[in-house]
A and B are shown apart, each in its own frame.
Chain A
Amino acid sequence: MSATIDFIIDDKEIQGRPGQTILEAAQQNGIYIPRLCYREGLVPHGSCRICTVLVNGRPQSACTQPIAPGMIVENDTEKMNGLRRNIIDMLFVEGNHFCMFCEKSGNCELQALAYRLGITAPKYPYMFPKRDVDATHPDIFIDRNRCILCGRCVRASRDVDGKHIFEFVGRGPHKRVEVNAEANLADTDISMTDEAVEACPVGALLKKRVGYAVPIGQRLYDHKPIGSDIESGVAPASSR
């Protein structure tokens, strides 16, 4: 097997290693492909579809698609970013995202992607679903109003923490994240140090009493768009 694979992203010639996904190889070359359900260290999920790129003209999720020699990838194009904007809009109207009082605001990956893609208001009507908050646990809470069903908590708890505290139940529009107990988060063995708690990209799964600690102006995405670290080579191999 050859040591490198040559392919093209947006007219740029890229080299990757066998076994890498498009997203990983791009990142290593300082190219940011927007992502939400992907998180370094977890098995790719392929569910948010934000990372969709055109591979030889066909849509594929960059977080799951392995690179192949000679493939031509379209990523940062008007068309793909327009489609991504639509997905972000969908996630905003699907849940109840009240950024003004969310502890995650400024550090939220969903919000940051909306900023990066220049969204001022979603083009779709808000659904205002009725969803539950589970604040039974002394240290951690889950606010399903903000859950985007990315499955990062599910995978982190299962594969990193070895606990399997979260899982999806229901299907289609009724799908939601559920905990491994008769009813409440308090009845699970989740703990503050679990990777699952760190893994949530939005304000759905949070630690209590630490919200708003970082002042406005110093939060992750206050000044620079999400992905800037990758693009400037600060984070060649990882980004969260």
Chain B
Amino acid sequence: MSENLGAAVKEICRAHGHDRTRLMDIVRAVQEQFGCVSGEAMELIAKAVSVHRVEVDSVVSFYAFLSDRPKGKVVIRVCDDIINRMHGADRVAQAFADELGIEVGQTTPDGTITLEYTPCIGMCDQAPAALVNDVVVTDLHRTTARQIVQELRRHLDPRRLVRKLGDGNNAHELVQAMVVNNIRKPGPVIFSPVNRGEAIKKALAMSPVEVIRAVKTSRLRGRGGAGFPTGMKWEFTRGAPGTKRCVICNADEGEPGTFKDRVILTERPDRVFAGMTIAGYAIGADEGILYLRGEYAYLRAFLEDVLQKRRDENLLGNKICGKEDFNFDIRIQMGAGAYICGEETALISSCEGLRGDPKNRPPFPAQKGYLEHPTVVNNVETLGCVTKILEDGPATFNEYGSEGSSGTKLLSISGDCRSPGVFEVPFGITLNEVLRLAGAGDAYAVQVGGPSGQMVSRDEFGRSICYDDLATGGSLMVFGLDRNVLEIADAFLDFFIEESCGYCTPCRVGNVLLKERLGKILAGKGEPSDLKYLQELGETVKLMSRCGLGQTSANPILTTLKNFRSVYDALVKEATDGLQPSFDIHAAMSESEKITGRKSVHFLA
């Protein structure tokens, strides 16, 4: 095994040019082949790429899909985000566990199968879902979970679990997934048919500055959440000093409840790659990276094939479409299970073969990004829009949407609704209209923008989806009357605690403290002063954190405190005896009572 490992690591490192910036690919490859990146492997990798062993450890230990201890040949990861749990993910996980004879988090004694939970895998519209290695299984229930285990025991080949293929390209021979697109409402921008090459040719007929001007005229703003004007971002990047530039497409899609980028990549990959190429031309880049979240590995071969076809058609590579001096190619960088890597500077760290820690700003990516080169990072959908803008002209694009928000927006809608899926709607549409489209007229609350967004109550369903009102990267989670918004907030805090990179104090510690106090309230032991405590702690985390994760992780608390105050008020009660209601003397003594075999003399049960 050891000898084996040595040779394999050597080969993997050689294949990646002994390049330390490709460390992500190297450790992923080792993990894939050996089921873990052991200490021994770290040592070997460190030597081969000339870094310190502890640096390799630092990368491996950061990503949820990498491990220094062996896992099963097959790893089952049950998605445990709130929507999946509402649809029975816990029961499914229990069924897996029972059938495997282990608990969640363990590996079968024969070392073949590991069972874990994982945060949102982008399948909320077909929940409960799980990853079995790279294979996605959807619409699970207890029986299918049992069957999956029985089958895996026979052949340990996750690919054979897929019987019925999904629609569209999910059935493509290079995808072969049971995933369905659930495109409920195609719109005129993203889901319109693509004429391969058209947009690029139109762009190449203009000067790069004219391309940027067209994007600016379209008033396109980023679809990934922050809403930065795309043309301006490109202009900054083009103007920044540097010998080399880079375009990165952010396909990390980690915000729970978001799955629209998955559908774009499945059905309109050419639109995205064309957008990247146009961005490359506009800013003067020759390198493009698609950062694809580890959960979407099942799309990789298909996307590689699309890229190859584009190279074959001279839509990528040297002298694209005969344009002298325009060389541009795209590689796919796989992620490995880290929500924070959707944050653009963390994403860049990850592309550079580092832990996915966000970077200090300034410098901004536009000034110094990937390997210090001026870099544009755009969302999948943003780049898809770019292609359309070049195809039809900015004026047409401007016709869709509202005053401050041009174009359409893809919404991923899931939860308590009849038609979960992807909706391409014009900006400015009200929440009420959207809910009607999704068959959720009776919704009680909607989480707009994922856990980092806001929990909106019924009285505000008249608000509209746009940058000036309810801004969102696209996640809409619908909750019916029987849901408890505080339990949902609690689940969101779990997510942020685990997904925080841990770099800065307020986010690393504050989220844990928020959860503790919310838990106290949920247990019926809260007092009115705890609400003030939560508010102040939440504001500290929001104001003092270093990046967008920590700056929004308190939102589940802060927005429910604001919009669902009565739910809190009903749970808290002033303790007038001076005792701390959260202190449970019986819980504190129970272990001692067991060990000594006697009961307390002071506190009778």
- Count chain B CB atoms within 10 A of each CB in A52, A166, A168, A178 and give the residue with the most: A168
Residue in B closest to A60 when the chains form the complex, CB atoms: B361
- Do A169 and B58 touch (CB < 8 A)? yes
Contacting residue for A171 out of B501, B509, B516, B533, CB 8 A = B501
Tell whether B457 is near chain A: CB-to-CB under 8 Å.
no
Cα separation A108 to B199 with both chains bound (whole Å): 61
CB-CB under 8 A from A49, the residues of chain B are 504-506, 544-546
Cα separation A236 to B501 with both chains bound (whole Å): 35
- Count chain A CB atoms within 10 A of each CB in B54, B360, B504, B506 and give the residue with the most: B54
- Do A179 and B355 touch (CB < 8 A)? no
Given contacts A49-B544, A179-B54, A181-B53, contact A171 B513 (CB under 8 A): no
- Do A172 and B54 touch (CB < 8 A)? no
Contact with B along A21-59 (1 / 0, CB 8 A): 000000000000000000000001111111010000001
Tell whether A66 is near chain B: CB-to-CB under 8 Å.
yes
CB-CB under 8 A from A215, the residues of chain B are none
Contacting residue for B509 out of A52, A65, A90, A180, CB 8 A = A90
- Do B502 and A172 touch (CB < 8 A)? yes
Tell whether B228 is near chain A: CB-to-CB under 8 Å.
no
Tell whether B508 is near chain A: CB-to-CB under 8 Å.
yes
CB-CB under 8 A from B544, the residues of chain A are 49, 52, 59, 83, 86-87
CB-CB under 8 A from A164, the residues of chain B are 52, 54-55
Cα separation A173 to B513 with both chains bound (whole Å): 11
Contacting residue for B362 out of A48, A66, A148, A169, CB 8 A = A66
Tell whether A217 is near chain B: CB-to-CB under 8 Å.
no
Query: Number of A interface residues, CB 8 Å?
Result: 43
B291 to chain A, nearest CB (A): 18
- Count chain B CB atoms within 10 A of each CB in A50, A86, A178 and give the residue with the most: A86
Cα separation A165 to B53 with both chains bound (whole Å): 10
Tell whether A105 is near chain B: CB-to-CB under 8 Å.
no
Cα separation A166 to B55 with both chains bound (whole Å): 9
Tell whether A175 is near chain B: CB-to-CB under 8 Å.
yes
Tell whether B497 is near chain A: CB-to-CB under 8 Å.
yes
A residues adjacent to B (C-beta < 8 A): 44-50, 52, 59, 61, 64-66, 83, 86-87, 90-91, 93-94, 123-125, 127, 148-149, 164-175, 178-182
| Seed contacts A46-B546, A83-B544; 7 additional CB < 8 Å A-B pairs | A49-B506, A83-B540, A86-B537, A86-B544, A90-B506, A167-B54, A171-B61
Residue in B closest to A84 when the chains form the complex, CB atoms: B544
Q: Show 15 A/B contacts (Cβ-Cβ < 8 Å), sorted by A.
A: A46-B504, A46-B546, A87-B506, A87-B544, A90-B506, A93-B509, A165-B54, A167-B54, A168-B355, A169-B58, A170-B61, A170-B502, A173-B500, A173-B509, A178-B58
Cα separation A65 to B363 with both chains bound (whole Å): 10
Tell whether B526 is near chain A: CB-to-CB under 8 Å.
no
Residue in A closest to B361 when the chains form the complex, CB atoms: A64
CB-CB under 8 A from B501, the residues of chain A are 171-172, 175
Ordered nearest first, which 5 A-B pairs have the shortest CB separation?
A175-B502, A90-B509, A180-B54, A169-B61, A167-B54
Cα separation A46 to B506 with both chains bound (whole Å): 12
- Do A172 and B500 touch (CB < 8 A)? yes
Given contacts A86-B540, A125-B516, A180-B54, contact A173 B508 (CB under 8 A): yes
Contact with A along B456-478 (1 / 0, CB 8 A): 00000000000000000000000
Contact with A along B38-56 (1 / 0, CB 8 A): 0100010000000011110
A170 to chain B, nearest CB (A): 5
CB-CB under 8 A from B502, the residues of chain A are 149, 168, 170-175
CB-CB under 8 A from A127, the residues of chain B are 512
Cα separation A51 to B530 with both chains bound (whole Å): 27
Tell whether B338 is near chain A: CB-to-CB under 8 Å.
yes
CB-CB under 8 A from B540, the residues of chain A are 83, 86-87
Q: Describe B's contact surface by its main secondary structure.
A: helix
Contacting residue for B505 out of A59, A91, A168, A178, CB 8 A = A91
CB-CB under 8 A from B504, the residues of chain A are 46-49
- Do A182 and B545 touch (CB < 8 A)? no
- Do B57 and A167 touch (CB < 8 A)? yes
- Do A167 and B497 touch (CB < 8 A)? no
Tell whether B543 is near chain A: CB-to-CB under 8 Å.
yes
B residues adjacent to A (C-beta < 8 A): 39, 43, 52-55, 57-58, 61-62, 338, 340, 355-356, 360, 362, 497-506, 508-510, 512-513, 516, 533, 536-537, 540, 543-546
CB-CB under 8 A from A169, the residues of chain B are 54, 57-58, 61-62
- Count chain A CB atoms within 10 A of each CB in B62, B356, B545 and give the residue with the most: B62
Cα separation A52 to B281 with both chains bound (whole Å): 39
- Do B513 and A124 touch (CB < 8 A)? yes
- Do B512 and A173 touch (CB < 8 A)? yes
- Do B510 and A90 touch (CB < 8 A)? yes
Cα separation A171 to B58 with both chains bound (whole Å): 9
- Do A173 and B543 touch (CB < 8 A)? no
Cα separation A44 to B215 with both chains bound (whole Å): 36
Residue in B closest to A36 when the chains form the complex, CB atoms: B505
CB-CB under 8 A from B503, the residues of chain A are 47, 175
CB-CB under 8 A from B533, the residues of chain A are 123
CB-CB under 8 A from B546, the residues of chain A are 46-47, 49, 61
Given contacts A169-B57, A172-B497, contact A91 B52 (CB under 8 A): no
CB-CB under 8 A from A45, the residues of chain B are 360
Cα separation A125 to B504 with both chains bound (whole Å): 19
Residue in A closest to B46 when the chains form the complex, CB atoms: A180
Given contacts A167-B58, A178-B54, A180-B54, contact A149 B355 (CB under 8 A): no
- Do B543 and A178 touch (CB < 8 A)? no
A186 to chain B, nearest CB (A): 15
Given contacts A47-B546, A59-B544, A86-B537, contact A178 B506 (CB under 8 A): no
CB-CB under 8 A from A175, the residues of chain B are 501-503, 508
CB-CB under 8 A from A124, the residues of chain B are 513, 537
CB-CB under 8 A from B39, the residues of chain A are 182
Cα separation A66 to B367 with both chains bound (whole Å): 15
B365 to chain A, nearest CB (A): 16
Given contacts A49-B546, A172-B499, A173-B497, contact A87 B505 (CB under 8 A): yes
Cα separation A45 to B357 with both chains bound (whole Å): 12
B605 to chain A, nearest CB (A): 25
- Count chain B CB atoms within 10 A of each CB in A64, A127, A172 and give the residue with the most: A172
- Do A171 and B497 touch (CB < 8 A)? no
- Do A86 and B499 touch (CB < 8 A)? no
Residue in A closest to B57 when the chains form the complex, CB atoms: A169
- Do B54 and A90 touch (CB < 8 A)? no
Cα separation A94 to B501 with both chains bound (whole Å): 16
CB-CB under 8 A from B537, the residues of chain A are 86, 124
CB-CB under 8 A from A149, the residues of chain B are 502, 505, 508
Residue in A closest to B546 when the chains form the complex, CB atoms: A46
